[in-house]
């Protein structure tokens, strides 16, 4: 049985083993487990039952991990997309005063369209059409975005009215928890210690509990909240998607999820070394797993799903097969029973890991032809646009709009794939509609 599982996940071919994959799965889980606490708070603002969303988020994440691991054999976890959950709650439900049930119906319809696009291999063709330089820029941009998230969550970088961002306060104890974790992971990574990211997270959590800056859980096991309040809620409200405004919402869910996931997949595949000849092996299977997960998530009662950038933590410690996220998915199911214990994984614990991952992913920037301005300009806008706009898809849009224009000006317009011209127009329309 053990050998059959190893053969199914192609351990020998990928140069990995059970120990490495299990550690990677645990690391990915620890890096992204915050989502089952964060998502209920965000969607709860829209009026959704927080306990039900907690359970639906955990189950949808487990479903996505299992599908990605088995269908595509990639160490890439799927969960509720950050940014999309905020758009769902604050822009659609609160800003547009759309009931959360109707917003879930919009997610359900977008997921069905997603599956159709995947079945016709349109998503796969678009990803293959993205030039190598822009793929490298996407990977590097995601790295900067992840590092920026980590610096902000750890309190090292904070918002400022005068300068937009500035250094955080070093008189705050939790900031020093982040600094401690960052020092530990830098030392361990520099010394090539296996599992450095995971070890640093454990050490940081222990220090936080010892100093009282991270609460020690009062008990270990708790009951699982019922999913009933949100389960299938969107399906019964599909007929309410009957106005131009709501169809724009559906289009936004579709477009942002499309490129958030595409960008994340490209970036993670680049980090793991999967990309060969500008193509990602088994990308069709990965996209099928992703679109099916988005549908499953809408039925379970959560906002749009997608590839999770924190998967890079597991990849960084050696995860190379789908077995990595099988472990992650199992832990998410178990996490619903041990939710009090998961509370020790605070922002300060995950922040050093995110910063380190950003450093690792930034390596792809060396593959960009910076000497060719027509390639450097769109690549730069992608890289800088992601952290500054706080959105992977917005960063991609800036680069994709610029790329055909720069190539035409450089008299290389014929080298641009037709899909890239189409995407340029789509993103211009998208920005126009989004800012109506």
Helix (H) / strand (E) element for 306: namely strand 305-307
CB count in 10 Å sphere of residue 251: 18
- State pLDDT tens for residues 40-75: 877 888 889 888 888 999 999 999 999 999 998 999
pLDDT at 70: 94
- State pLDDT tens for residues 205-221: 889 999 988 888 777 77
pLDDT at 341: 65
Tell me whether residue 170 is exposed, middle or buried, using C-beta atoms within 10 angstroms of its C-beta: 0 to 12, 13 to 18, 19 or more.
exposed
Sign of torsion, CA 104 61 282 312? positive
Query: Considering the entire predicted model, what is its pTM?
Result: 0.72
Provide mean pLDDT across the span 306-334: 89
Question: Any idea which residue has 């980590």 for tokens?
Answer: 150
Provide mean pLDDT across the span 282-294: 87
Ranked by mean pLDDT, the top range of 115-124, 242-251, 396-405 is: 396-405
Lowest mean pLDDT among 285-294, 350-359, 405-414: 350-359
String of DSSP letters for 163-212: TEEEE--TT-HHHHHHHHHHHHHHHHHHTT-TTHHHHHHHHHHHHHHHHT
Lowest mean pLDDT among 33-47, 49-63, 160-174, 287-301: 33-47
């Amino acid at each position: 049985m053990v050998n059959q599982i190893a053969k199914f996940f192609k351990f020998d071919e990928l140069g990995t083993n059970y120990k490495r994959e299990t550690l990677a799965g645990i690391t990915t889980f620890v890096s992204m487990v915050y989502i089952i606490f964060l998502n209920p708070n965000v969607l709860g603002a829209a009026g959704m039952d927080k306990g039900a969303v907690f359970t639906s988020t955990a189950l949808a994440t487990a479903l996505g991990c299992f599908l990605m691991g088995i269908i595509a054999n990639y160490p890439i976890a799927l969960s509720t997309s950050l940014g999309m959950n905020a758009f769902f709650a604050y822009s659609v439900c609160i800003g547009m005063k759309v009931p959360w049930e109707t917003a879930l119906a919009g997610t359900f319809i977008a997921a069905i369209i997603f599956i159709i696009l995947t079945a016709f291999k349109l998503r796969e063709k678009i990803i293959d059409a993205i030039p190598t330089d822009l793929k490298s820029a996407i990977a590097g941009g995601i790295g900067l975005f992840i590092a920026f998230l980590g610096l902000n969550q750890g309190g090292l970088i904070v918002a400022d009215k005068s300068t937009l961002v500035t250094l955080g306060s070093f008189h705050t104890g939790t900031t020093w928890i982040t600094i401690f974790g960052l020092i530990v992971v830098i030392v361990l990574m520099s010394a090539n210690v296996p599992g450095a990211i995971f070890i640093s997270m454990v050490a940081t959590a222990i220090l936080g509990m010892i100093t009282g800056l991270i609460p020690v859980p009062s008990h270990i096991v708790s009951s699982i909240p019922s999913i009933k309040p949100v389960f299938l809620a969107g399906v019964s409200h599909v007929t309410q998607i009957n106005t131009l405004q709501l169809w724009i919402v559906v289009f936004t869910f579709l477009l942002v999820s499309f490129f958030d996931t595409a960008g994340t997949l490209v970036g993670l595949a680049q980090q793991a070394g999967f990309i060969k000849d500008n193509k990602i092996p088994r990308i069709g299977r990965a996209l099928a797993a992703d679109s099916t997960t988005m549908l499953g998530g809408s039925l379970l009662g959560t906002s749009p799903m997608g590839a999770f950038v924190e998967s890079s933590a597991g990849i960084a410690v050696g995860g190379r097969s789908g077995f990595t996220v099988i472990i992650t998915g199992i832990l998410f199911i178990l996490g619903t029973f041990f939710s009090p214990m998961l509370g020790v994984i605070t922002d300060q614990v995950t922040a050093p890991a995110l910063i380190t991952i950003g450093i690792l992913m930034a390596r792809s920037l060396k593959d960009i032809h910076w000497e060719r301005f027509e390639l450097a300009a769109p690549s730069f806008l992608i890289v800088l646009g992601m952290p500054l706009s706080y959105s992977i898809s917005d960063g991609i849009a800036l680069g994709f709009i610029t790329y055909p224009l720069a190539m035409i000006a450089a008299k290389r317009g014929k080298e641009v794939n037709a899909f890239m011209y189409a995407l340029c127009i789509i993103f211009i329309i998208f920005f126009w509609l989004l800012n109506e």
